Structure 1
């Protein structure tokens, strides 16, 4: 996944042309809904090459519109496995993506100092959320987790579709 993350972040930094605002959001929302409710992804999509491509595409898209969570989660959901493993894999992918994007945006001139108080608050909120999430994760079964995961992703996708539609309509 990590080499794909690096490729996606570099690709997003390189892109000069942008689709109309809202198109990417709607596309991502539809992809997430498809991976939640449609047929399973083919086995080769979950291979080393498929994972590399997923890392590149999800990082590229999230660098443009910031929707990495639902994209990566919908891919990880397809991999199966135990709930703790899924959450740990998802967390590792998010750290890799965000650190890589921070590096790329820093190289492109983004000034993190101006946002430092917000960044510190977000890290603190992430730590609290992790503690609460682990308590919840220990109490829920794999079967219930999978259902809740699917519905949470679907709600995030619907919100993204709403934002994308509103953006297209307003322009």
Structure 2
């Protein structure tokens, strides 16, 4: 007898159920810590899903997760950053639609990890890099990379971290930026011919449970001190960067 979970996507019922649980857990993690859930999710998805569907499915689920988190923290969003980030997102998405040649496998991981590690442990970015022009450039580059590597969250969060001082501002502004970025994937992969219809059941369930996880994570966010949040935020970014470096080494050597 066909179970409800088996009707959600072409995958098995057990895998669909596992992905729904992962969506809730990673959304709670991102809301509470500030970053990392998207990368954790795409790593889990890569273990059980066909390579051709990972990035578009991940993008739509993360759109739901980030939009929910942005809605719950909307009063803390830095609107000036969003206004400057949006044009870059559009430019990056247009480039992704037409770009057919990719960098050698493994190089993108190195670039992202190097930027994040510099942001965490290097000197502060020059002030002009945090202005409108720098934000447009960051939006364009991270959106372009996101269309090819899926999880650009660590890179976006490293940039947001430099311009925000309050933990709620960091999470809210990051969520709004990522919502815009993931929204472009619907258009990018739609132009590329990806059929989202076959995955709507799984997408809906993962987004719904992701919102529940987000609500729990936002509640936890209020109990973290500024110092504890900043330290945890930095170490999560560092560990994810080291993971990316290792993945890049493996891909270059294969």
TM beyond 0.5: yes
Residue 130 of structure 1 pairs with residue 214 of structure 2? yes
Q: Distance in 2 between matches of 1:23 and 1:40?
A: 24
Secondary structure in 2 matching 1:10: helix
Of 95-104 and 110-119, the range deviating more from structure 2: 110-119
Cα displacement (A) at 1:121: 3.3
Partner of residue 7, structure 1: 91
Q: 1:154 aligns with which of 238, 242, 248?
A: 238
**1:26-105 residue pairs with structure 2 within 5 A?**
26-105=110-189
Secondary structure in 2 matching 1:139: coil
Partner of residue 25, structure 1: 109
Q: Distance in 2 between matches of 1:9 and 1:141?
A: 37
Cα displacement (A) at 1:44: 0.8
Q: Distance in 1 between matches of 2:209 and 2:159?
A: 25
**Structure 2: which 5+ residue stretches go unaligned?**
1-84
Secondary structure in 2 matching 1:39: coil
Distance change >3 Å, CA 118–CA 167, structure 1 → 2: farther
Aligned length: 170
Of 117-126 and 104-113, the range deviating more from structure 2: 117-126
Cα displacement (A) at 1:162: 1.6
Q: Distance in 1 between matches of 2:225 and 2:88?
A: 32
Normalization by structure 2: what TM-score?
0.64
**Structure 1: which 5+ residue stretches go unaligned?**
none
Q: Distance in 2 between matches of 1:167 and 1:117?
A: 33
- Bigger Cα Rg: 2
Cα displacement (A) at 1:154: 1.0
Q: Distance in 2 between matches of 1:99 and 1:121?
A: 18
Q: Distance in 2 between matches of 1:118 and 1:91?
A: 22
Q: Distance in 1 between matches of 2:200 and 2:109?
A: 27
Distance change >3 Å, CA 125–CA 73, structure 1 → 2: farther
Q: Distance in 2 between matches of 1:165 and 1:118?
A: 33
Secondary structure in 1 matching 2:179: helix
